[in-house]
Structure 1
Amino acid sequence: MKLRLDYREANPAALQALIKLEGTAMQMNPDKTLYELIKIRASQINGCAFCLDMHTTDARKIGESEQRINLIVVWRETPLFTEKERAVLALTEALTLVANAGVPQEIYEEVRKHFTEAEYVGLIMAVNAINSWNRIAIATGMFPGCYEA
């Protein structure tokens, strides 16, 4: 595989904008496990191998189990995720696939059972951040290890 282009070199301002968005989203979402669940699920949906590799690795580093990492893709079919995590995963899917049905009221209400208004906005920012990273990675042909070669 070959990287199409290194966006970091081609347009450093783009990288800085995404880093700023990522930093803001991270500050708004102090729960690292939830943050990685968002990143993994959105990257699965978007088919971003680079980001999926990165965030499953990051999840392992913070103690996430292989079983849960492997089953995020089918989170509805397993009891391994809490109600709060399920709400976040549902929101992640709805926002990542926003053109399909928007964010249904029932997803909003379930998320709001667990999160304040400010935290809800933080979750939206986290989903937006990973979707932006996914789109950069996919559009430029990034793949696991592409910057190591």
Structure 2
Amino acid sequence: MPTERMPNPASLVPGAMEALMDVTKAIMGAGLDGKLLALTHLRASQINGCGPCVAGGVHQAQQHGVTTNQVHAVAAWRETPWFTDDERAALALTEAVTRLADHPDPVPDHVWDAAAKHFDHKELAALLLNIAVTNTFNRLNAPTRQQAGKW
């Protein structure tokens, strides 16, 4: 198992971790279902290979009532019957936003329109911020080889 290269960078820059946590608190207070936030956090973290965020995402998902089937199948959400239409829209948006550089049109209209059908502007804003903050943590944890279970 690779060793940690350094502590999480956000913990080393004064005020950085607190600022990220304040954004997270604001997202959680925006009225979007915690289950959706947990599913999108988990999916983005899987894509980015962030062990601590995947482990934390599973825990968060369980706390918010995500079913065992959903937790185990979130990477294959398109091929399973266990996700609602709004969860599917949120997961599609999560994948598009997390993989911005992979496509010439990173968030195609059909992905955006599906999300906008289920979420109002404030909810979409919370969803996008959740995806962005998750990707930020993934991009801090993965290169520094943060280990799951070391909180």
- Aligned CA RMSD, in angstroms, stands at 1.5
The alpha-carbon deviation at position 141 of structure 1 amounts to 1.5
Identity of aligned residues (%): 34
The Cα shift of 1:123 comes to: 1.0
Deviations 1:11-44 (A, max 9, x none): 2322122112212222225311001001000001
Displacement of 1:9 after TM fit? 4.7
Select which of 24, 27, 30 maps to 1:25: 27
**Which TM-score applies when normalising by structure 2?**
0.89
Amino acid at match of 1:133: F
Matched-pair contact (CA < 8 Å) for 2:32–2:123: no
- Moved beyond 6 Å, runs of 4+: none
Higher helix share: 1
TM-score under structure 1 length normalisation: 0.91
Contact kept? 1:6, 1:140, Cα under 8 Å:
yes
Residues 79-112 of structure 1, C-alpha deviation per residue, up to 9 Å, x if partnerless?
A: 1100110000000000000112311000111111
- Cα 1:96–1:29, aligned 2, differ >3 Å: closer, same or farther? farther
Structure 1: segments with no counterpart, 5+ residues: none
> Any stretches of 5+ residues in structure 2 without a counterpart?
none
Instruction: Answer yes or no: is the 8 Å Cα contact 2:38–2:64 preserved in 1.
Output: no
**2:93: which partner in 1?**
91
1:105 is the counterpart of 2:109: yes
| Aligned twin of 1:6 | 7
Q: Which amino acid aligns with 2:122?
A: A
Deviation at 1:2, TM superposition (A): 2.6
Alpha-carbon shift at residue 62 of structure 1 (Å): 2.8
Kindly tell me the number of residue pairs found equivalent between the two proteins: 147
